[in-house]
Structure 1
C-alpha cells in the first residue's frame, strides 16, 4: 500500500536509533490515520545530509516541500 502523505523529518542530530524516532512520532501518525484516514510515511535524515546530499528526493523537497515547523525560526 502506498502512503498518501510523505513527511521528511530533518533532525539537527541524527545520532539516535531511527526506531526511537518512529516511537516519538507515532502518536502524531496514528492521529492523522484515524482522523483523516491518510497513511503517513516518515523518513528521517540529518540537517547536514539534507543540505549536502543531492538526490532526486531531496531536490524535489527543496523545490516543492512545505516546511511544517523549523525550530531555527523559533530560536531567539
Structure 2
C-alpha cells in the first residue's frame, strides 16, 4: 500500500460557478412560485369561508345548495 496515490477531492469535471448560479436562480424562482401559489390558495379559502352561503337541508330529499352573494363570479 505504499505505492498508492493520494486521493484529491475537488470540483467534478465540467462544474463551473455559472452552473451553480443557474441552479440557485431556479431554486429561488421555484420558492417564489410556491409562495405565490400558497398565498393564492389561502386567500381563496378565506374568501370562500367568509361568503354568505346558505345551505337549505331537506330531510326527505337530501339537497344542498350554496349561494355565494359576495362574489359576482359565483352568482
Larger RCO, structures 1/2 (Cα 8 Å, 6+ apart) = 1
Q: Per residue, is there more strand in 1 or in 2?
A: 1
TM range (shorter): under 0.3
Greater C-alpha radius of gyration: 2
TM-score normalised to structure 1 length: 0.22
Q: What TM-score does the superposition give when structure 2 sets the normalisation length? A: 0.22
